């Protein structure tokens, strides 16, 4: 049995998980998967990481280029992250005839086409299961098991940090800053949480999933994104009162007008399986014309879950190296479907207003919605005790994003309207 050599670049959280899994199971892989895989070379800018992981010093280098140039390396694992140096490493590896396994969502969401083309040009594999949903199998199921379907939608809770924060807010009525602080204290959120809480991480992931599901390239910059900073315990409570949970949803739909892809806080019915996905868990809900509705659930981040996906990819690629059949499943983006502008969206809207508690206000606001053809599904009105103002919550029927924005512009201009305090899209899944 030929030993397949693997070079690992990046010894951070996921990299250390990869080292751990190989330490536990390398012998098992020989028996179970019929391939002998060895981590032959490691690189990280920080030399202390290799010794902390107990890696042999003669296999370690601070230069990624040494790994790529090593003739014993068949497969390069790229765990650097980002779209700068990591892109160079991935492209050089592919061009040198190495297959690449990566967890790099940012790279695949921004430069997926370039990476796929480089792999195809060299006739090697590029695998990136860990880029979305941590250890949850989702990319391989889309490319293999569900490939017989026309996928109509992919709905994901794909960011564990924000799902943890929203779950804490829902469970305890905690406000956003304190839920964020708790997430940071538990290691679920970075010191600078921007990429997570502003939705950019989720946008990269849905760009990747949409590209595969719809066979048409969607890049991260085409995905409109809104984060969770503005979500309040009050909105979560109103949502619950109306039978909804608020989740940071990554949504991708195939529509006659093009691909509808977006990330924003979303009210979904509490009865939907995604509403029960709490804490740091992720789930991706996929609908296809043959399979119907399916959901993939699990831990979306963390060292070992992400490493589970990375090593799963490595084993598959190693089978292909050993079997002499690399490059069998490449880029699937063979169609060119336009990505819709969010202004063309039609969905439900939750709108919360603070207004003066005086006669005629409700009629005035209702009139503004009606003027723009926005029809109201339900209204809740409550008195704000401190100020004597009234808080009104509207949920609209399906309405155009443009119409709702225009109506809100009119409503904000009314003297009797103190503030439009929240606008959250509603998906009646």
Which positions are annotated as active-site residues? Answer: 205
| Nearer Cβ to its own copies (102/396) | 102
- Residues 268, 265: Cα–Cα separation, whole Å: 10
Find the part of the chain contacting its own copies (CB under 8 A) among 1-9, 24-32, 87-95, 244-252: 24-32
Residues that bind its own copies (rule: CB under 8 A) add up to a total of 61
Residue 335 in the binding site for its own copies (CB under 8 A): yes
- Residues 246, 169: Cα–Cα separation, whole Å: 10
Which residues, 246 to 305, sit near its own copies by CB under 8 A? 273, 276, 288-299, 302, 304-305
Among residues 52, 82, 121, 150, the one that binds its own copies under rule CB under 8 A:
150
Residue 309 in the binding site for its own copies (CB under 8 A): yes
| Nearer Cβ to its own copies (180/274) | 274
Residue 414 in the binding site for its own copies (CB under 8 A): no
Residue 391 in the binding site for its own copies (CB under 8 A): no
What's the min distance (Å) between Cβ of 111 and its own copies? 21
207 within 8 A of 199, measured Cβ to Cβ: no
- Residues 20, 64: Cα–Cα separation, whole Å: 21
Among residues 47, 72, 147, 366, the one that binds its own copies under rule CB under 8 A:
147
What's the min distance (Å) between Cβ of 285 and its own copies? 9
Among residues 10, 15, 81, 141, the one that binds its own copies under rule CB under 8 A:
141
Residue 235 in the binding site for its own copies (CB under 8 A): no
| Helix or strand run (H / E) with residue 248 | strand 244-255
374 within 8 A of 407, measured Cβ to Cβ: yes
What's the min distance (Å) between Cβ of 73 and its own copies? 19
What's the min distance (Å) between Cβ of 335 and its own copies? 7
Angle (CA) 117 119 122, round 5°: 110
- Residues 222, 207: Cα–Cα separation, whole Å: 8
End-to-end CA distance of the chain: 50
Cα radius of gyration rounded to whole Å, the chain:
24
202 within 8 A of 248, measured Cβ to Cβ: yes
What's the min distance (Å) between Cβ of 135 and its own copies? 4
Selection from 411, 343, 412, 419 nearest residue 387 by Cα: 419
Among residues 25, 95, 229, 364, the one that binds its own copies under rule CB under 8 A:
25
> Counting Cβ atoms within 10 Å, is residue 428 exposed (0-12), middle (13-18) or buried (19+)?
middle
Residues linked to residue 336 through DSSP beta bridges, in sequence order: none
Find the part of the chain contacting its own copies (CB under 8 A) among 203-211, 224-232, 311-319, 340-348: 311-319
Selection from 157, 351, 154, 90 nearest residue 242 by Cα: 351
What's the min distance (Å) between Cβ of 275 and its own copies? 10
Residue 129 in the binding site for its own copies (CB under 8 A): yes
| Nearer Cβ to its own copies (32/412) | 32
Task: List Cβ neighbours of 131 (8 Å cut-off, separation of 6 or more).
Answer: 102, 103, 104, 105, 108, 109, 139, 205, 208
Angle (CA) 151 402 253, round 5°: 5
Binding-site string for its own copies from residue 196 to residue 215, where x marks contact by CB under 8 A and - marks none: -------------------x
Residue 362 in the binding site for its own copies (CB under 8 A): no
Pairing of strands 99-102, 75-78: parallel
Measure CA 60 to chain center: 32
Residue 311 in the binding site for its own copies (CB under 8 A): yes
| Nearer Cβ to its own copies (168/262) | 168
| Nearer Cβ to its own copies (119/197) | 119
Query: Contact residues for its own copies (CB under 8 A)?
Result: 17, 21, 24-25, 28-29, 31-34, 129, 135-137, 140-141, 144-150, 215, 273, 276, 288-299, 302, 304-305, 307-312, 314-316, 319-320, 323-325, 328-330, 332, 334-335
């Amino acid at each position: 049995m030929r030993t397949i050599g693997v070079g690992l670049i990046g010894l951070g959280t996921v990299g250390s998980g990869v080292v751990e899994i190989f330490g536990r199971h390398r012998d098992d892989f020989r028996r179970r998967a019929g391939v002998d895989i060895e981590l032959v070379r490691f690189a990280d800018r920080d030399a202390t990481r290799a010794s902390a992981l107990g890696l042999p010093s003669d296999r370690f280098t601070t230069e990624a280029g040494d790994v790529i140039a090593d003739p014993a390396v068949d497969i390069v694992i790229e765990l650097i992250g980002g779209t700068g140096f990591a892109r160079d490493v991935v492209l050089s590896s592919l061009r040198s005839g190495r297959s690449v396994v990566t967890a790099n969502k940012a790279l695949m969401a921004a430069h997926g086409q370039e990476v796929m083309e480089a792999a195809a040009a060299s006739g090697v594999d590029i695998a990136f299961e860990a880029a979305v949903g941590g250890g949850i199998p989702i990319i391989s199921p889309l490319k293999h098991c569900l490939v017989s379907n026309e996928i109509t939608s992919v709905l994901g809770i794909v960011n564990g940090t924000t799902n943890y924060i929203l779950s804490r807010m829902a469970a305890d009525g905690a406000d956003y800053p304190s839920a964020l602080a708790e997430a940071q204290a538990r290691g679920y959120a970075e010191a600078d949480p921007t990429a997570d809480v502003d939705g950019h991480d989720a946008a990269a992931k849905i760009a990747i999933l949409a590209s595969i599901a719809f066979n048409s390239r969607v890049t991260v910059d085409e995905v409109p994104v809104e984060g969770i900073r503005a979500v309040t315990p009050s909105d979560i409570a109103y949502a619950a009162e109306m039978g909804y949970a608020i989740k940071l949803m990554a949504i991708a739909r195939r529509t006659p007008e093009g691909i509808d892809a977006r990330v924003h806080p979303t009210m979904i019915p509490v009865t939907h399986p995604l509403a029960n996905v709490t804490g740091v868990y992720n789930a991706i809900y996929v609908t296809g014309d043959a399979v119907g509705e399916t959901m993939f659930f699990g831990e979306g981040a963390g060292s070992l879950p992400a490493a589970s996906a990375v090593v799963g990819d490595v084993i598959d690629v190693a089978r292909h190296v050993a079997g002499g059949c690399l490059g069998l499943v490449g880029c699937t983006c063979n169609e060119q479907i336009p990505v819709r502008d969010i202004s063309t969206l039609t969905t439900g809207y939750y709108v919360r207003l603070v207004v003066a508690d005086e006669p005629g206000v409700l009629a005035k606001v209702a009139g503004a919605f009606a003027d723009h053809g926005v029809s109201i599904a339900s209204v809740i009105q409550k008195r704000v005790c401190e100020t004597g103002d009234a808080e009104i919550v509207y949920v609209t029927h399906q309405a155009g994003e443009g119409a709702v924005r225009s109506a809100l512009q009119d409503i904000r201009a009314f003297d009797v309207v103190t503030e439009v305090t929240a606008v959250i899209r509603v998906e009646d899944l």
